[in-house]
Structure 1
Amino acid sequence: MTLSNNYSIATRHQRSTRIDSDLSKDFFPGLVYHGTAQTALETLLRQYAQTGQRSYTLTGPYGSGKSTIALLLTGLLHHEASLRNAALDVINSQSKKLLKDSIVYDKGWLQIRSVGGLSSPVKTFWNATLAALKEHHKTNTLYEKYCTLSIHTESELVNIWEALFEEAHELVDGVLLLADEMGKSLEYINKSRGELHLFQDIAEVLGRTKTPVIFMGLLHQSFSEYAKERGSKLQEEWNKIQGRYNDIIYNVSTDETVALIGQSIQNESGERCTDDHYVNAVLEAMNDKQERKKLLKERLDRCIPLHPTSALLLGPISKRRFSQNERSTFSFLNSHEQNSFQLFLKTAVEKSDRYNLVDLWDYLEVNLEHAIISSPDGHAWATATEAIRQARQKGLPDIATEILKTIALITLFGKPANLTATEELLLASTDVDTRESLTEYLNMLKDKSCIIYRKHLSSWMVFEGSDLDIPSLIEEKVEQIKDVQEAITHAKFQSQVIAKGHYHTTGTLRWAEQNLVTNLEELEKWPSSSSSEGAFISFYLVLDDSEQLKKASQKNDRIVLARANDAEEIIALAKECYALDLIKSDEKIGRILTHDKVAQKEYEGRLINAELALNNAILYSFESSTWCYRGEEYSHESLSHVTTLAADHIFDHSPEIKNELVNRNKLSGTAVSALKKLLEAMLKFEEKEDLGINGFPPEKSMYISCLKNTSIHDAKAKDKRYWHTENLDPKLSELFIKSLELLEDSSGKEVKLSEIAELWAAQPYGLTKGVIPIFLLAFLKSQGSNIAYYEKDMSGSFAFIAQPDLDYVHKLIKNQDELAVKYIVLEKSEREWLQHLAVFASNETNKQITTDILSVATPLVTTIHNLPQWVKNAHELVPEDATKNKIYLRIRDLFLQANDPHTLLIKDLHSELNLEGVSTLTQQIDILSDCFSVLRQKHERMLGGIKDKVKVIFPEAGEELVDMCRFVEENAGDLRLKAFARELAKSNTGLLQWLESMIQIVVGRGKQNWNEGILRTADNKISDYAQDFLSVVKSQRLQNNENSEVTKTKLVSLVLEGEDGKLTSYKKEVRVAEVEKIQPVLNAIEAKLNDLNEFEKVHVLQKLLKKTLEAQV
């Protein structure tokens, strides 16, 4: 069984008190009526009785118990006897007598209990008034009278109260008016830029009404502190108004906190310890008055199982800046955090176990160190933690480290409780058994420079191991910062606000950025928000008292302005953050800081908490300020709502596209992949239902959201018009109409797709980068043949492409500036010319061609581009007709160089064919037809000529030629001759591919590298290979003793002496010719030679033979 079975925390101490809901007779038993509570109550009673003062404020730290005292006063004046008696049992006889002498009680008081909040104090006061009238049994008739009233203004509330209190005079003893969380009401008034007329009027009205009235407002600070950022003048006015109220200070002492702790810990067994040895030991070690010790003994006995030193230090700890007074004490008692008191109760089993200072240190270190470091206690805490780290690092025993933690806590927080780390107190506060052991451990710690002994205090303290005073350095650097904007700029605050309402309506996620500026002049230095990517507007929190915000917001619909409510706090925190950065960047200090672990920890803690506090202050100011947009003020609306208003205004023509995957500016990898697949489907399968996308992959959802639900795509269209940009949602229709107008205005000129994308991304459409490619392709396809497509080539110029391909649609996603289109509009004469070209194209392709630029140009350009490379480069298309050759060359080059179908067909081609003597379109088409015929047949004619020559050289056919080729392939030593024979064997197939292969073999060039010169060389080269071929065949046959008749060739040889005296041999294997065929030529030559002498005859014949034969050296 653990201690949690014996001890628990009283329910009333588990949360803060609410005066509007916690009043009951069960509330008062166990309430501690300590000295601070008695002083506050009796001060009010005396002031009321002696001076007639009716307006009070009770000022004390957060969680100090002010609401509890307010409820005690409520119970003392309540009309219900059981409640009043329960409250009377709490106070002592002295207070009871003063209450009886000071305040008349007979019928009970009407009790208006209001709790301030984020709404108007007028509203909360009136609702509390109605609740009070309904609660008191004698004011039901007044409730019926006033419950239907609607109160809106401060003056209405005060006037109604005055009348109501007069009417209640005979029904109640008086009116108790409590304003809990009055500070929140003041914050509301300050945020609304209001004045304190309400509380000024309350003080005046309460002073003159004949009905007894007591007003008590509960505050954490003075009136003026709530208006500190609005200037000293207003603070003075608010101070004057608070002067009408008597302020009672409420601050619970350390010993009273011990009493509260003892009252909150309940011993379930009912046993009460009256002689705890831990308490006795601590009290014995304390150097204090006996009266205090006697009072503390009873209270500390009630705090078991808290160790008495822990109970004594909880009060001072709760009053530190990082804490929340008594409320933090009770939060600690109820906490289930690591090393907490509740976890101790669940794990401790011995009745003698106590939650000591070591446990308390561990709790603070784990759960509150970040807050302590940034507080005034940060330096001392950092020093202590570094000392503990050093002790562990140097191998000291655990008990020594525990003693060090005890010394550290007493050093930090013991002074208000009159505790010092004497050896007597350390012996009473730790698990060390003897004085000798304690001395040994203390010497260990001292030798390792973890602690130091202060003789004048007779106590031990943590050794100061740091050379840097971080708080003083911060103050010094802050003083050096003269330019506030420099500190604000260094803060680099940036946050975003989502236009949630706009997102739910349109499906498009838009956001605003949040920025700080010191004044409106600084605003001009900021770049304007971009609507295409990132934030589309900016919220600017201005840190001065400029009165021009509303006017300035009218000039630019991309900014929202507000005056910061807590400008002074933001500036102070920004300076502190900047000062901390300056400290680290200081060469000397930064070097010391690097090696000083204590200062380093303190510095890091201060920096983290200063940045956090600055961020929280800025965010709070953003949420609580009154914003101006387009001249209108928004004080109660959220930032998201204002952002939505701006988005709806700026992008009022944004179409509804609800798809989170694609309707955004930055797509995920999955979304990009799906988008590519959707664009490919739009390109290939427009005639299929759902673009042929099966199942439900990501691209299917994109299709449904962007194309199907919007009616842009219809696969069932009877006229095969699958894409529609008309008769859609009005916002979508306008988007496409404006885009078409852009193209029409630039008719005949290239328009980059990035220009259309920029139009769509800008106000008032605001399309995102994800959906723009989808709508772009759909829009272009809807225009059909009215659009010509262009893409940048290697030179960076736009070149015409027949149709979008996969590369084109992929570039729609990220490279829209590399794509362009041209809108085409034809005149009547141009349409007529296009019709003739369409007929010509139909004849050329044997297909039906529609009468539009692209449909006509595509097959004609394709035909020319598909010509063999040498034909596209040839200079002699029609060698026999120089004029025609020149025209055909120009026509061919027009198609080859064309990058614009409109310019090619309508302008350039028509102009080229408009020759002298050619007056009709039909005549022009005839010239074009003849040109295409010549170009198309050029390659075949070239092959035919070479084929005829081969047949002359090799008249053999069928198996005979194949056997010859096989023989050469098997016996030739030249690899190229073998290949020549192999291709020659294919000459009987009827196809011409063997000729192209043969040409490639003899010239040693691929087909793509042919030109007219190479083909002329090929003619001669074939003769060379044929000679080698025939020589191989003849040599073999001679070896087989076959006669020349069988071989059908004879060797012709000519040997000539050159001018240098050297002999040159010319020889050739020639086919045996038929005598009958050559006899007429022979006779003619002989007739010519008869007129010459013998030498001349020989010379002529030698020249002819030399020219005919190839030189064979």
Structure 2
Amino acid sequence: MLTATKNFKSSVNIKFDLENIDFLKKYMPTPSHAEALHGVLNGFNDTSNRRSHIVIGPYGTGKSLLGTLLAATVSKNINNRDFNVIRKKFASVDDDIHDELIKIRSKEKRYLPVVLNGYEGNFKNSILTAIQKTLAQNGIGIIVPGVMFKILQTVDNWKENYPKTYKNFKSYLRERGKHIDVWRLEVQSQNFNEINWFKSIFPSLTSGTEFLVDFSGDFIEQIKFIIDELKLLDIGLFVVYDEFGRFLQSLEHNEVNETMQNLQDLAELADHYTVDLHLLFITHKHLRHYFSSFNQELQNEFQRIEKRFKLYYIDSDSSTFFRIAQTAISNLYDINKSLFNVTEITNQLRKYPLFPELNQVEVENLIVRGTYPIHPVTLFLLPQLSSLYGQNERTLFTFMESKESNSLYKHLTGKNNYYLPNQLFSYFFPNFFDVDFEEKDKIASLYKGIITKIPEISYPTKIGIQLLDIIKFITLWELCGLQSKVKLSTDFIAFALNVSEVDISEELKVLQSLKAIRYNRILGYWELFEGSNYNIDELVAERSEQLKIDKEKILSIFEESLTKKYFLARKYNDEKSMTRFAAVNILFSSDILLDKHDPNSILSKKNTDSLINLIILESQNDRDDIIQKIISKNDQLSFYCIHPYALETIYDSISKQYIIRNLINDEVLLNSDKNLKKELHLHLENIKHDVNKFIKIFLDFSSELTWFRNIRKIKIDNEIILEEQLSQLMFGLYPDTPEVRNDGFNRRKLNNMQLKAGYKVVNQLLTKPYIQNLGIEGNGPEYLIYASIFKNNNLRLNELDNIKSPELNRLRVKLLKLLNEKNSGSFQDLISIFTKKPFGIRQPLIPILLVALIRDKWDQILFYNNEMFISQLNGEIIFSMVQEPEKYNYVFLRLNDEFNQFLSIMEQIFSDYIDTGNIQTIKPILVSQAILKWLRSLPRFVQITRNLDDELVKFKDEIRTSEIDPQKGLTLLYERFKYSPVNLEKFVRRLNNEYSSFKSELVNELFNTVGVKDLIELQTWIKQQNPIFYKENNLLRSLNLHLESEDWIERITSDIVGVELSNWSDKTKEMFLVQVKNNVSKLEEENTSDNNSIVINFNNKRKIIKKAELSTKSITLHQNVTRILKNGGRNVPKEEVENIVLLLLEEFVE
């Protein structure tokens, strides 16, 4: 039976509990209070310490109790016997606090507690008012200057505006035998009795209104006045402001600045002006957090003010919480504890980490025995719920002593069994559906949906009650987010609800079938679940008739489940300072048996150094054949791993996964039920879990796996062994990989910054190979490339025959061997030396090492793309060539003495066209480019005309061959002129003079066509022509305009055919001569016809007008112009009209 014992205080109000000695005697010292107690007491005992304090902590952590204890202690209102009871509690807990208590007790000075709670109005007024009340309660007659002024001001106001009140007031004075003037003098002299008398009669004069003082004077000066007066009495003040956060939350925006200033000044006063004022503000969070809606500047200001105080943090301390619970139960109830099995409960608790901070002895004594009849899971859940949803209304203490429905007291009425965690649901949420949960509390919405949708759970039957208890417990657990601490497994739910595991399993199955809960197989716990109205298995079966899954889709599902896509050759990578790895490749047994598996293709596709082939057997009968096939392949770059189970064992799950994904994409179906999509996703996760387990056999290196490397069966038990085997493989394949310690560059793919740095290094190799550091300055990525390749390997371009790095030296030897044995070939041949064994160099390094290691031979190498010579090489082009080496060819030039001598002659002949700034270009290319440049400098006509003798045409063609193939072009010229270089110079001179010869020839042909012998006769011929023909005859007009110019032939030819003479072709010349003949013939015809033109000499110009009949439109135009001139010219002088006519003649007549 339940027996109520001593009263247990559930909450604290400092104002009312300050003198409750019994309450203070029950205080239990807690570690979370230690720092605050020590700090505040030390401020009283040691004047060098801080006296302004803020205690911060969540609800239910005993902050108010702490304030009450401190106020009672420093006020000296506790007798020695009671004080010793409190003191002794700390003797065995904290020696420092015990000593501080003794010190404060031994001091003569006492401190009056000034207690405030929550919002009590304006900060300054509330502090001063509280001080005045405290002084009055303690019979101390100190009047703040503002009080006297306020009293006299009030009486003057009555006299002026409220005569009736003033008359009543004087009646009170007469009853006391006082004259108004005498009384005013006594108030002005701060007579305590007169001031208190006025305060006492004020309500009777003002209909019950209390006399309040606005304390409009300087706040700090008023506090100083009080402190100084109290100091004379050897008394101090201890201001305790509980629930200070509520005051801050209630502040109006216009009060913030004043409050901040007063708060700061008060802290400064306590810590620097006097030892007789101590402050303790109690809040739930930092001051700045109460102003999150204000601007950042105000928040920062409160943060600065907060630094004026010493801060203490009080957290919920689990072990203390449990001890308080034990004490509370022993104080409140007499419990028969013989009815439960201590050993069984203790053993159960070993399985679940509910109380990790306690050892097993503490668990048994404190949790199992000490807090019975509260179930251990209930005790664990209670503070979690209280901190989230209880605040001050539902704490451990209210739970212990409350007589509300579903409280511990109500539970134990007539019972003596466990209070289970599901019962907390009804205690904390007696009206769950009316609680306004935050939006983030989706669990609450889920619970409401389940209860509404599945009424069977709420039936008042035995099974209905049991099901609802389970739902309530799961809901509470998830509301508090406790799945991460202890998962709601079947056995844990049975333990928490004190039900057998067999019974709870059946009840969980019922709830699962009702779609109220589900078991999360991935995370391993039960959780709330609101399902759809569909039967998912039926949907899958129906859709499976329409959808069939092929091997490609099965493979993609397997690859999704593969959480580890590659393995590293760690030992090799550490030694070579690079990253080599093997990619995991899933394939079917038929791929091997039917020779569909191409390792090289997959290596290239996956961009990997090696392959780990995970083989899925399509039939267990394939195993032996697969093993034989693997051995026969002798694939040196791959590992093969055969899965122990055939595809058929997991096929149904894969098929369902594919079908459910299809259902998830069916918008019409999903729109028919709001919960269907979520349920499908949950089903999908469960099915994926099965597939993941199938693949995990490989990732866990199960002993059932069968491994092969090359032709040998190997044993691989874990990832370390696999990576060791992979390192051995890499050492065997690529022992000569040079060490380049640059993770950002020595890799398969580069980012843009590294790529551009690579371009720059190659450009420096081409242009400044022998300058210190290749001319690279600073510490950018290009310098890191230089340092890691050249500096670290002691690679110097002027000492390539003495390379210190054995790997780089062997690489150079192979490159030179290829060039010497095969002076032309595919660029791929050069790149393969880098990429294949024994070097296996990463692609980004190849352009740099290629140019560097054969830099002394680089100027003798020509590169071609589709048989087109690449005339200009730079870093970007070389990097692109390395990416697609199969598209390019190389030619290595080996130059003999005769050829070099011939090149020198050509260099001399074409010296004006040699690009001296292009020092990285080899001599043959420089000469070839110079010849081409010379040819292109000639007038275009000379470049393209074929009307030359065959030798000159052949010479030009040989030069043009160099444009496509410099080697071939130079060879042709060498073979032709090696014994007669004089002829080469003659050919050059002839082509240089060809344009002048061409112009002279063209002039003669013009003369012959016109029928003159020289320029003088041509001028005479022009003058003989009728001026009227200048207008229409192009030849005559052009000759008349340009014949006086030195370049008259260029101008005339341009006028006639519209093409500059230097850009003519042979066809253009033919067209010109034809047009000249036509113009001359036309002139001859017109000279024989009648003269039908009018010639006007005007302004030193000859104007020719051809006679013509006017059309109707022209006649109308003439009439309009005449009318305009006549009508508009009436007021205009005749001379101006004539000039208008002249202007029209000038503008319209040619």
- TM-score by length of structure 2 reads 0.46
- TM-score by length of structure 1 reads 0.47
